[in-house]
Structures are given as C-alpha cells and as structure tokens.
Amino acid sequence: MSDTNKKKEIKTNESRRNFIKSGALAAAGFMIVPRHVLGGVGFVAPSDKLQVAGIGAGGKGESDIHAFFESGKADIAYLCDVDDRRAASSVKRFPKAKYYKDFREMLDKEQKHIDAVSVSTPDHNHAIIALAAMQLGKHVYVQKPLTHDVWEARVLTDAAKKYKVVTQMGNQGASNDGPRQAREWYEAGIIGDVHTVYCWTDRPVWPSGIQWPTQKAEIPKELDWNLWLGTAPQKDYVDKLVPFNWRGWWDYGTGALGDMGCHLLEMPFSVLGLNYVQDVQASVGTVYVDEFKRGYFPESCPPSSHATLTFPKGQRTSGPVTLHWMDGGIQPERPEELEPNEIYGDGGNGILLIGTKGKILADTYGKNARLLPTSKTATVNVPKKYERVPGQEGGHYAQWVEACIAGYGKKPVSSPFEIAGPLTEALLMANLAIRGADLRIDNQYPGRNIKLVWDNNAMKVTNFDAVNQFVKRNYRSGWDINYTI
C-alpha cells in the first residue's frame, strides 16, 4: 500500500471512530412547532420544514432531493457526495446547503440540525449509511434496492422498528394507483386465487458478462475514490465504472434485479401479501469467448437470467406462489387473452399475475394495471378500498416528507422498510441463485440445475453452502456494519 493510501486508510478509521463515538451520545428526535399555531391552515412555517441531508447529490439523488424540496415542506440543508462533478448541479440549486464529501463527518458534525436523510449512492453503501442515520434517530429515504446483501436488508428492516423512524424505499411505483386497483380487483375475487407471477425487464442496459478491466486509470481530482469504495474491497480505479456502470459488477451493484426488481416485484408483493422466499433457482446467459469455450467472469453480472422463486402460502393466497423473474430481454409467453398487436407490458418491462379465474397485466411501476382481456377492464367495477396517494409516483416523496413531520407511526407511507425489506430480500435471494449458477468450483458449475433451499430464520441456504458467502459479505477494513438482529 502506498503512503497516500495508508494516510487515507488512517483518516478513514479515525473518522469512523469519531463518528461512532459521537453517534452513541446523540439524542434521537427533534421538535416541530405545529404550523396551524404559526400561520393558519396550509401555512408552512420555517420550523415546520423537514431539514433534509442528501447523501448522493447527483443522478437519481439529485432528482430525489429536488422532489423533496418541491413538496414545499422540506429544506435541503446539507449535501454530501464523494464526486464534486456529480454534486455540482445540486450545489448550485441549493447554495445554502452545507456540502460534505464524507457522510460520517457530516452526521458527526451536523446531527443536531438534521431531521431526515436521503440515501442515493451505489448499492454497496446503502446499508452502512442508512443504518448510521437511523441510529442517530433520523428518518431515512433509501433508493432501491434497499441494500446490496440479504443480511443487510434484514438489518434495516429490524432497525426501522428498533429506532422508530419513518422509512421509505425509492420504488416510487408503490405510490401509484395501479397496485391499489389490482389489489381491489384481487380481493373482490375477479381473477380468483393467484398462483403464478411473471416479472420481466429489458435490463441490463450497461455492459455485463465481461472481464474486469486490466488497466487502471487516473482518479479524477473531483472524486474521492476511497470514499466511493466504502464497504467494497480495495481496488484500483478503472474507467467507465463511475457514475453508472458499477451496476454490472457484483462488488458494487446488484444487476438487473437491483435496478428494476423493486419496481416490478412491488405490485405482486402488495397485492398478494408476499413475504419471505422458501426456495429459488436460476439459469443464466453464458458468454462464449471462443468455439465451445465458456468465458468466466465472476465479478460481472450475467447478460441475462431467469430466476424462479417460491413463496409459501400467505394470508391472501390459498397455496404457494411461484414468481418468475426474467431479464436481458427475455419475456414469458404472451397470454392468449392478449390481442396480437397489443403491447405486452410496456414493451420492455412488465408484470403478469395469473389467477384461477383471470389475469392482471401491468407496466413498470405497476402503471396501467388492466384485466385480460383488456376490454374487461372498463366493464368491471369494484369498490375503492385503498386510499390513493396524491400525485401517485410523484407524490411518493411528499408522502415521506409529511410522514416525517408528523412523526413515527402517525402517517402511512407506501414503501416502509417493513415492506421494502422483505421485498429487497426476495430479489437478493434471486441474485443468490444467479450467482450460484455462475459459480465455478473445480472447473464445474455445481450451482446450476439445482434449487436452493432457504432457511429463513438461520438466513442460510441449506443445500449449497458456497452461495452463503453472498448472504453477508466481508466488509473492507474500517467500513464494517456492526448490528445484532
């Protein structure tokens, strides 16, 4: 390790120790003066506004932060990003927000002035940031997928209850009308009992199934590479990883499932009341580098996959539910009720619920939910049971802001961690099977063509131990997540 890297590592460990020390002494909670006392109905006084810290200020983080501000009930008080280039637009838009590069330093110094934290970083750092904020009593909004690993999802689900903070995952389709309409149809018995679900996507739209670059590149002066790596293993910086293509590498991203799974699985989860997986199996697309010569790129997500998850009987189903996930442009067979020229899903993505008496089809985010045949949609009327979110997916942000202002347990949100945690676990369980199918041991692939059996209480696969290394990964020194469930 070079002297420069040693100094960065020492600084990282010292920063973490200081953060933990001060965090242990921090008092959770904050005081809000009721708006009606200060200025009449509808008036939002300065003391009523949620003081938000945005960790990850570029890309999706930038649009999240802006949406919170547009609610009219939040101030963007702090910004944090490891890359000044990505943060530049948000810094310009919110000039009064104090800017940091290290989230630990920001939470350490500003914890008394922060009410809530938005986390929009690469997947591998979601859990460590969100948990640190929750342990300080801060409400959290975390981009999808909630976490990088199965164990982390269980941790954040538990922490939300323990620290009694308002939580929301950034799968904004959970606030759309479509999932609510579909649930009303289902509970009215329109399609009978659902036993099979298909979710599919045209992702990945980034390089996958490829070799890790062999040539390191110069780190941009605006980027703190050590902070960007965070919990991930120490590696040299390479081109075309930041800001987006990290999604295709297992050290940082969670592949097509991580990108789109929370958007597509949400409707089946909310309609059917799904919870934890009982078993999972997968097949993956293979890249050949020569005639009959299979390429082996274990660091990279595959270009396509099909995972099959089994959920046990729940309160809203009469038996187990089989859920099929397909990515890389693979789609299930078209339903016979769909006319030849009707678009299947939205063209690239879709959701199909198959019941004993009928089917429901929907687009990304649960949009455009319709019965099949689609002509049936206009003729079926059922009572509206579930309150709609004003603004639908756009209102997902204001909903969280208002719930934070009201306080824990006072107002509902569409994707609290009690729902988002098990949902994230399910898609990460599918990733276990995908990684297992692509795992080479003694020049063989023992994880292919088998079903992984999951012990939910022990949080381990019981019949193929090699994949359990991915349930909870090893963190880089100084970036450990210490939490007991």
Give 25-59 pLDDT, tens digit per residue.
443 333 333 333 333 444 455 568 999 999 999 99
- Give the Cα separation of 177 and 458 in Å (integer): 37
Residue 20 predicted with pLDDT over 60: no
Residue 16 predicted with pLDDT over 60: no
Percent of the chain with pLDDT over 90: 89
For residues 72 and 44, the answer to whether their CB atoms sit within 8 Å is yes
Give 329-365 pLDDT, tens digit per residue.
999 999 999 999 999 999 999 999 999 999 999 999 9
* Least confident span in 16-20, 35-39, 233-237, 371-375: 35-39
User: Looking at residues 420-446, what average pLDDT do you find?
Assistant: 97
Provide the pLDDT confidence category of residue 14 given band limits of 50, 70 and 90: low
Angle at 429 between CA 162 and CA 418, to 5 degrees: 25
Q: If residue 386 lies in a helix (H) or strand (E), which one and from where to where?
A: none
Give 254-296 pLDDT, tens digit per residue.
999 999 999 999 999 999 999 999 999 999 999 999 999 999 9
Q: SS3 for 388?
A: coil
Residue 432 has a CB neighbour count (10 Å cut-off) of 25
Residue at token pair 């009469």: 318
| Average pLDDT for the chain | 92
- Give the Cα separation of 350 and 268 in Å (integer): 12
For residues 165 and 134, the answer to whether their CB atoms sit within 8 Å is yes
Around 160, how many Cα atoms within 13 Å sit in the side-chain half-sphere? 26
pLDDT at 48: 85
User: Looking at residues 118-139, what average pLDDT do you find?
Assistant: 98
Tokens, residue 322: 């089989």
Give 287-333 pLDDT, tens digit per residue.
999 999 999 999 999 999 999 999 999 989 999 999 999 999 999 99
pLDDT at 272: 98
Angle between helices 103-110 and 126-135 (to 10 degrees): 10
DSSP characters over 322-373: EEEEEETT--PPPPTTS-TTS-STTSS-EEEEEESS-EEEE-GGGTT-EEES
For residues 15 and 102, the answer to whether their CB atoms sit within 8 Å is yes
Residue 370 predicted with pLDDT over 60: yes
* Amino acid residing at 78: Y
Give the DSSP letter of residue 261: I
pLDDT at 23: 47
* Closest alpha carbon to 448 in 281, 321, 294, 289: 281
Residue 162 predicted with pLDDT over 90: yes
pLDDT at 1: 52
pLDDT at 34: 39
pLDDT at 45: 56
Give 89-119 pLDDT, tens digit per residue.
999 999 999 999 999 999 999 999 999 999 9
- Give the Cα separation of 50 and 54 in Å (integer): 12
For residues 121 and 232, the answer to whether their CB atoms sit within 8 Å is no
* Amino acid residing at 253: G
Residues contacting residue 375 through CB under 8 Å, at least 6 positions apart: none
Residue 239 burial (C-beta neighbours within 10 Å; 0-12, 13-18, 19+) = exposed
Is the CA virtual torsion 222, 224, 228, 233 positive or negative? positive
Residue 69 predicted with pLDDT over 90: yes
pLDDT at 187: 98
For residues 152 and 127, the answer to whether their CB atoms sit within 8 Å is yes
Give the DSSP letter of residue 374: G
Residue 238 predicted with pLDDT over 60: yes
Percent of the chain with pLDDT over 70: 90
User: Looking at residues 174-199, what average pLDDT do you find?
Assistant: 98
User: Looking at residues 412-433, what average pLDDT do you find?
Assistant: 98
